[in-house]
Amino acid sequence: MSKSKVAIVSALSVVALVGVGFVLEGAIATNDANSIMVVQMPIVGTLNWYTTPGTQLSWWGRVTRYPKRDQFWFSSKTDQGAGPDESLRIRFNDGAQATISGSISWEMPMDFNHLNRIHAKYGSPESVTKQLIRTVLEKAVYTAGPLMSSTESYAERKNELLADIQEQVDLGVFETVTMPQKVKDPMSGQDKTVNIVRVKLEGGKPKHTIESPLKEFGIITYNLSMNDIHYPDEVEKQIAMQQQAIVGVSIAIAEAKKAEQAAITSAKQGEAEAAKAKWAQEVEKATAVTSAEKKRDVAALDVQTALNEKRAAILRGEGESTARKLVMTADGALDKKLKTYEAVNALYAEAIKGYSGSWVPSIVMGGSAGGGAAASAGSGASQLVDMLSAKTAHDLALDLSVPRTGAPEVKNTALSLRPASTN
């Protein structure tokens, strides 16, 4: 075969291969694991959906692929999203404006009814993100802004702003009501009237005007995040001044509360000191009362003791008196009389013992047969003693005679020296 024929055959082979490639490319289509593929069949126009990965016959139909999950960026950062600033504008109830930068994740439904409606309405994933996701998000941001002031969105209610936007994206925009309200301007301290937007509640939950379009198409959103809220320079300055004013007011309130607390503490301390002093007086009073009562009780006890001692002394005296009376009645105080008698005779004996003179005259007329002066002296002393003894016995009413044995006992006013026999 000549060289020219070989060249012609080679060229025809290449054309045939290219034609076969074009034919095969239109006849089959490959679906990735992270996408959903729809094939619109030629002539009849039916839609065939493929949610699993693999190669399918497309029969030269129109093939469209949607991501199962995607991230929509509304960011002001050039390295996020499509590149240019895609942040969303927001206006707050104090008239200040800002732009919100962030992202939200969304997922396609997996049932064919929702997929057919999405494809019929939008026809491509780009249209879904721009005409559906972004539009719903813009409406939610627009409605959430008037629910707070720029200062609140800057500080204490930033998380609440994020939650309001997410709920309206998922369930639909809030039904709100606007009402005038007087508030204190943090800058001037003067009262001013502002329009406050409040969300209507139904059963304790926010009421939504219409259902979210995303819910209508079965698209799920989640993980809404904000990476920046950009305020214009004049708003930034105003917010900074308001923040300083609010801080100043907070400090003043705190100092006022501190002073009030100090006053309360001082008053409480005064009350405590007064109560302490009062109780000290009560303690002193109670101590004095207790001491007085103690002295009174001791005095009463002393009186009672004295009365008891008096009564005891009286009783002892009465007892002793009765005892003496009984003794006197029983023996006529014989024991005492005998002791007295013995003592008197002892004194007589002592006196006679020490006497050296004559007890009788030295000349006595008459005398005994064995007389003499000595005998007379002795008999004289004896007679004197007998006489004094008799006198003492008489004074003491003592009967010194010894009763005869067997003779009846004579009772008289004088007491016998011996007690009467009990036999």
Each domain of the chain, given as residue ranges in start order, spans 14-65, 68-231, 235-331, 333-361+372-400+413-423
3-state secondary structure the chain: CCHHHHHHHHHHHHHHHHHHHHHHHHHEEEECCCEEEEEECCCCCCEEEECCCEEEECCCCEEEEEECEEEEEECCCCCCCCCCCCCEEEECCCCCEEEEEEEEEEECCCCHHHHHHHHHHCCCHHHHHHHHHHHHHHHHHHHHHHHCCHHHHHCCCHHHHHHHHHHHHHHCCECEEEEEEEEECCCCCCEEEEEEEEECEECCEECECCCCHHHHCCCEEEEEEEEEEECCHHHHHHHHHHHHHHHHHHHHHHHHHHHHHHHHHHHHHHHHHHHHHHHHHHHHHHHHHHHHHHHHHHHHHHHHHHHHHHHHHHHHHHHHHHHHHHHHHHHCCHHHHHHHHHHHHHHHHHHHHCCCCCCCCCCCCCCCCCCCHHHHHHHHHHHHHHHHHHHHHHHHCEECCCCCCCCCCCCCCCEECCCCCCC
Is residue 376 a contact partner of residue 364, using CB atoms and an 8 Å limit?
yes
Lowest mean pLDDT among 105-119, 292-306, 338-352: 338-352
Residue 226 to residue 244: CA distance in whole angstroms: 25
pLDDT for 421: 45
Give the pair of three-digit tokens for residue 139.
């409406």
If one compares 82 and 199, the residue with the highest pLDDT of the two is 199
User: pTM higher than 0.75 for the full model?
Assistant: no
Pick from 64, 194, 82, 197: which is nearest to 134 by CA? Answer: 82
Of 286-295, 329-338, 392-401, where does the model show the most confidence? Answer: 286-295
Residue 131 to residue 125: CA distance in whole angstroms: 10
Is residue 392 a contact partner of residue 380, using CB atoms and an 8 Å limit?
no
Is residue 84 a contact partner of residue 67, using CB atoms and an 8 Å limit?
no
Give pLDDT tens digits for 6-43.
666 666 665 555 454 445 556 889 999 999 999 998 88
pLDDT for 373: 47
How much of the chain, in percent, has pLDDT values that exceed 70? 76
Lowest mean pLDDT among 104-108, 304-308, 373-377: 373-377
Lowest mean pLDDT among 20-29, 102-111, 142-151, 172-181: 20-29
Give pLDDT tens digits for 390-422.
777 776 666 655 555 554 554 444 444 444 444
Is residue 74 a contact partner of residue 105, using CB atoms and an 8 Å limit?
no
Pick from 105, 225, 101, 212: which is nearest to 163 by CA? Answer: 225
pLDDT for 261: 84
Lowest mean pLDDT among 48-57, 93-102, 284-293, 329-338: 329-338
pLDDT for 302: 87
Pick from 130, 125, 128, 133: which is nearest to 65 by CA? Answer: 125
pLDDT for 168: 95
Is residue 87 a contact partner of residue 209, using CB atoms and an 8 Å limit?
no
Pick from 151, 150, 140: which is nearest to 102 by CA? Answer: 140
Residue bearing tokens 């013992």: 353
Give the pair of three-digit tokens for residue 249.
């007011």
Write the CATH number of the domain with boundaries 68-231.
Answer: 3.30.479.30
Give pLDDT tens digits for 247-289.
777 777 878 888 888 888 888 888 888 888 888 888 888 888 8
Q: What mean pLDDT comes out for the span 220-246?
A: 82
Pick from 58, 93, 329, 348: which is nearest to 198 by CA? Answer: 93
Lowest mean pLDDT among 189-203, 211-225, 273-287, 316-330: 316-330
Residue 312 has pLDDT above 50, yes or no: yes
Beta bridge partners of 40: 47, 62
Give the pair of three-digit tokens for residue 132.
């559906």
Residue 386 has pLDDT above 80, yes or no: no
pLDDT for 251: 79
Residue 318 to residue 143: CA distance in whole angstroms: 119
Residue 380 has pLDDT above 70, yes or no: no
Overall residue count recorded for the chain in this entry:
423
Is residue 117 a contact partner of residue 217, using CB atoms and an 8 Å limit?
yes
Is residue 74 a contact partner of residue 100, using CB atoms and an 8 Å limit?
yes
Mean pLDDT (the chain) is 80
Residue 72 has pLDDT above 70, yes or no: yes
pLDDT for 361: 61
How much of the chain, in percent, has pLDDT values that exceed 90? 30
Backbone angles phi, psi at 28, to 5 degrees: -130, 160
Residue 386 to residue 383: CA distance in whole angstroms: 5
pLDDT for 415: 43
pLDDT bin (cut points 50, 70, 90) of residue 115 is very high
